[in-house]
Amino acid sequence: MAIERVFTQPGPDEERYLTSLRPQTLDACIGQEVVREQLWIGLEAARKRGEPLDHVLLDGPPGLGKTTFAHVIAHEMGTTIRVTSGPAITRQGDLMMMLTQLETGDIIFIDEVHRLNKVIEEFLYPALEDFRVDYTTESGIGGRTVNFALKRYTLIGATTRAGMLSAALRGRFGHFFHLQYYSREELARIVRRSAELLKVEAEPAALERLASRSRGTPRIVNRLLRRVRDYADVRADGRLTPAIVDAALEILQIDGLGLDSLDRDYLHALIKHYDGGPAGIEAIAATMGHERDTLEDVVEPYLLQIGFVIRTPRGRAARPAAYEHLGLPRPKHTGDAPDQASLFE
Ligand SMILES: Nc1ncnc2c1ncn2[C@@H]1O[C@H](COP(=O)(O)OP(=O)(O)OP(=O)(O)O)[C@@H](O)[C@H]1O
Ligand SMILES: [Mg+2]
């Protein structure tokens, strides 16, 4: 089943659009005060010493700015960034090539670093820690191990699942930044900036409306801006008003809280098929005909964040707020997963 969702994997055109909206400097980034402060100190210290930045691990749900921050770091350090991803590195030789080509201070960005295969990951350890690699040539009798020294570079890893990283890999990063969902006010500033860049005329109330329906995520607010602009161009004079935003989001089936049909399908599966849970993620995924990974990466984090769902040792359970939002009668008991909150309701 294809996932028609406004905010899962963007196509190349979408990616270009989002790239054009990326802030390039730390100052131009909005929100993430804690990360920006820590990053600023790290950057200043490295610049003062004239040394490359320690390796950086960026973690957080999709669309919060991991790729953006990686590029900002490269821009702030005035260095070159090379981009790859965990699943794209299939052979030791590929990684070996990339690493040996790095100049002092260069950055290598590995997206989805939790999906590196085990052999590659182990190959990376000395490259991270001691800036050297032990490369075993596959040809010849028994192969031969050659030791290469690398220039001092910075690896930036991004992951939606820091919990899936081995302790050994995690421990080799010097900086660990956890991105949080953005406040409505921050998203409003982000979308205002995007609208200005795109020369879209918009009433402030229209942009605030978009911000409040973007699930705390800059990627979503930027994508919705684009869809709403289309609508305004076709159905009106191009100017964004609250009424235009509402009408466009209605067509996209995005509700008042910013949940889309995939979010609602998930909640319906949990509530109708599994009595509100607790239900295992595999079971929910099977019921919906979706990949477990999609649900864990792009659906659950926000539902957990807003308290619609909790994770218990026995699986996921829907909370009363989810029933209320969907207009479903509350069950007498919210599953048999006792949690503190239910005692006080
Ligand atoms: N702090 C920020 N200020 C302004 N815009 C931002 C910020 N963070 C992200 N954005 C915007 O949000 C969009 C998505 O950001 P980005 O691609 O960096 O997310 P990501 O965390 O790498 O997502 P994914 O996990 O899906 O790869 C971009 O268009 C970018 O312009
Ligand atoms: Mg990214």
Q: Structural domains in the chain?
A: 32-178 (3.40.50.300), 184-251 (1.10.8.60), 261-343 (1.10.10.10)
Q: Which of 24, 64, 187, 189 to mutate to test the pocket of ligand 1 (most atoms within 8 A of CB)?
A: 64
- The size of the chain, in residues, is 345
Catalytic residues: 66-67, 111, 160, 219
For the Cβ of 190 lying below 6 angstroms from any atom of ligand 1, the answer is yes
On whether the CB atoms of residues 276 and 334 are closer than 8 A, the answer is: yes
Place of tokens 């949940």: 259
**H-type alpha helices, 50-181:** 66-77, 92-100, 118-129, 167-170
Cα(76)–Cα(28) distance, integer angstroms: 12
Beta bridge partners of 85: 111
Cβ of 63 less than 6 Å from ligand 1: yes
- To the question of pTM greater than 0.85 for the whole model, the response is yes
Residue 5, pLDDT score: 58
Question: Of all atoms in ligand 1, which is nearest to the CA of residue 70?
Answer: 18
Cα–ligand 2 centroid distance for 104 (angstroms): 24
pLDDT score for 2: 38
Return the amino acid letter for 77.
M
Once rounded to an integer, what is the mean pLDDT over residues 205-229?
97
pLDDT the model gives residue 140? 61
Q: Name the nearest CA neighbour of 53 among 157, 178, 161, 134.
A: 157
Q: Is the CB of 70 under 6 A from ligand 1?
A: no
Region 293-317 average pLDDT = 96
Share of the chain above pLDDT 70, in %: 92
DSSP-derived letter for residue 21 is: T
Element (H, E) at 312: strand 309-312
Beta pairing partners, 176: 57
Going by pLDDT thresholds of 50, 70 and 90, the confidence category of residue 141 is: low
Taking the CA of residue 17 as reference, the ligand 1 atom at the shortest distance is 29
Which of 22, 24, 35, 84, when mutated, tests ligand 1's pocket best, judged by the most ligand atoms within 8 Å of its CB? 22
Q: Ranked by mean pLDDT, which of 109-123, 141-155, 330-344 comes out on top?
A: 109-123
Segments in 21-117 forming alpha helices (H): 33-49, 66-77, 92-100
Centre a 10 Å sphere on the Cβ of residue 185 and count the other Cβ atoms it contains.
13
Establish whether residue 218 lines the binding site of ligand 1, counting it when its CB lies within 6 angstroms of any ligand atom. Answer: yes
Q: What is the DSSP pairing of strand 309-312 with strand 315-318?
A: antiparallel
* C-beta 175 within 6 A of ligand 1: no
Contact 211, 184 (CB under 8 A): yes
- CA angle, residues 66, 67, 71, in degrees to nearest 5: 120
Q: Residue 217: is its pLDDT beyond 90? A: yes
Token pair belonging to 283: 């079971």
Tokens 């990466």 belong to residue? 297
Of 47, 85, 14, 67, which Cα lies nearest the Cα of 230? 14
pLDDT grade for 8, boundaries at 50, 70 and 90: low
Q: How far apart are CA 245 and CA 18, in angstroms?
A: 20
d(CA 56, CA 299): 26
Residues 276, 316 contacting (CB under 8 angstroms): no
Atom of ligand 1 lying closest to residue 182 CA: 1
**Burial letters for 56-81: b for 16+ Cβ neighbours within 10 Å, e otherwise?**
bbbbbbbbbbbbbbbbbbbbbbebeb
Do the Cβ atoms of 54 and 171 come closer than 8 Å? no
User: Which ligand places an atom closest to the C-alpha of 217?
Assistant: 1
Q: Which two tokens stand for residue 118?
A: 């085990």
Using one digit for the tens of pLDDT, what is the confidence trace for 229-260?
A: 999 999 999 999 999 999 999 999 999 999 99
Please check the confidence at residue 139 and state whether its pLDDT lies above 90: no
| pLDDT at residue 343 in the model | 43
For atom 23 of ligand 1, the residue with the nearest CA is 63
Cis peptide before 23 (omega within 30 of 0): no
Taking the CA of 30 as reference, the closest ligand is 1
pLDDT in tens, 10-46: 678 888 998 999 999 999 999 999 999 999 999 999 9
